[in-house]
Amino acid sequence: MDPTRLRVFRAVVQSGSINGAATRLGYTPSAISQHVSALQRETGLVLVERRGRGIQPTAAGIAVAERATRVLDQLTDLEHLADDLRAGRSGVLRIGAFMSANRVWMPRVVAGVVDDFPDLRIELSLAELRGDRPVELDLDVFIAEAVRGDRDPAVADGSADGYDVEHLRTEDYLAVLPAGHPLVGRERVELNELRDADWIDNDIARGPCREILITACRARGFAPRFRVQASDYPSSFDYVAAGVGVTVVPRLGAHLLPAGVTAVPIADAEVRRRIMLRVARSARTNPAVRRATELLRAAAVLPAAAPHALA
């Protein structure tokens, strides 16, 4: 049924006449009559009947008018919801991120978004592997599969599968060393200098960040001797602080290092990871999505925390 005809018919019933509805809606009486006749054809019901020089709604007409009021109220609510969603005032913003981006970037990004859109609900999906995330994300911060050269960050820019993809940042890796380690105090270390060390594995998901590191070690003719399997970066730092071994993490992962460890940059140029952002093209015009994208770009260009030792 045409909502306009429902609205016209409701006005006829509420005002009690064709002329009253015409005055109320700014239509001509002829246009009102045409809408009522069309609605009767659509429903197959007699909605009004002649009474003298006027009309009167039938029992069926009264029932249709009452239900039409509920339907039209719901349509109005839907229109208001659409207005809010276009303006980013309500709804859900779905963001995917890997763990270190969630720890370092997402608190500031989420705080900025909720300041501007206080009625917005934000759902975060945390996973190291892109395949583990829901496909309906509005924004997704992820690690590219590999870094193959200095100019490579631009290669993955573009679009795919309904998403626009852009490069956010390429960063180096850091060796996290226990106090007293011979390499503490160096400006940089070569990956080869860690070949005989005991390592703490820090990525139980076996994601792309770990693969970049393992591939670089393999190219130098060795495999890390993992003494402990830790589930994440912060846990691996605790084992390093206890003197169990060393670990290697991307720079963003060396956040809030505990006492008793030092982070030293890895000199090898190919031991880097490329951080990418996917934005659903269907959500590009959403103000909340635009704001979150701006905040992520700003976070990505902030200087990374300098490697340091904590006593």
pLDDT at position 157 is 53
Residue at 283 is within a domain: yes
Mean pLDDT confidence for 25-40: 93
Q: Domain for residue 311, yes or no?
A: no
Q: Residue 239 and residue 246: Cα distance in Å, rounded?
A: 8
Angle separating helix axes 18-25 and 29-43, nearest 10 degrees: 110
The per-residue pLDDT for 82 is 77
Domain span at 39: 3-87
> Is the separation of the CB atoms in 141 and 296 below 8 Å?
yes
Q: What is the percent of the chain with per-residue pLDDT over 70, rounded to a whole number?
A: 87
**Confidence band of 146 (pLDDT split at 50, 70, 90):** low
* 309 within a domain of the structure (yes/no): no
Q: Are residues 222 and 105 in the same domain?
A: yes
Query: Is the residue at 308 inside a domain?
Result: no
DSSP lists the bridge partners of residue 158 as 165
Among residues 60, 87, 114, the one where a domain terminates is 87
Is the same domain home to 162 and 197? Answer: yes
Which residue type sits at 141? V
Q: How far apart are the C-alpha atoms of 29 and 17, rounded to whole Å?
A: 10
Let me know whether 43 and 143 are in one domain. Answer: no
CATH of the domain at 222: 3.40.190.290
Task: Write down the pTM of the prediction.
Answer: 0.68
Assess whether 127 and 272 both reside in one domain: yes
Boundary residue ending a domain (33, 67, 87): 87
Indicate the pLDDT class of residue 60, thresholds 50, 70 and 90.
Answer: very high
| 246 lies in the same domain as 166 | yes
Check whether residue 61 and residue 7 sit in a common domain.
yes
> Do both 124 and 73 map to the same domain?
no
Mean of all residue pLDDT scores within the chain: 87
> What's the pLDDT tens digit per position in 96-108?
999 999 999 999 9
Among the ranges given (145-149, 179-183, 276-280), the one the predictor scored with the smallest mean pLDDT: 145-149
Which of the listed residues 67, 87, 107 is the one where a domain comes to its end? 87
Q: Is residue 307 part of a domain?
A: no
**Chain centroid offset of residue 113 CA:** 11
Contact 238, 161 (CB under 8 A): no
pLDDT at 310: 40
Phi-psi region of 256 (alpha: psi -120 to 50; beta: other; left: phi over 0): left
**Which pLDDT tens digit goes with each residue over 35-53?**
999 999 999 999 999 888 7
**SS3 annotation, the chain:** CCHHHHHHHHHHHHHCCHHHHHHHHCCCHHHHHHHHHHHHHHHCCCCEEEECCEEEECHHHHHHHHHHHHHHHHHHHHHHHHHHHHHCCCCEEEEEECHHHHHHCHHHHHHHHHHHCCCCEEEEEECCCHHHCCCCCCEEEEECCCCCCCCHHHCCCEEECCEEEEEEEEEEEEEEEECCCCCCCCCCECHHHHCCCEEEECCCCCCHHHHHHHHHHHHCCCCCEEEEECCCHHHHHHHHHCCCCEEEEEHHHCCCCCCCEEEEEECCCCCEEEEEEEEEHHHCCCHHHHHHHHHHHHHHHCCCCCCCECC
When mean pLDDT is compared across 10-24, 129-143, 187-201, 252-266, the lowest value belongs to 129-143
Residues 62 and 153 in one domain: no
Residue 306 in domain: no
Total count of domains within the chain: 2
* 140 found inside a domain: yes
What's the average model confidence in pLDDT over 288-299? 95
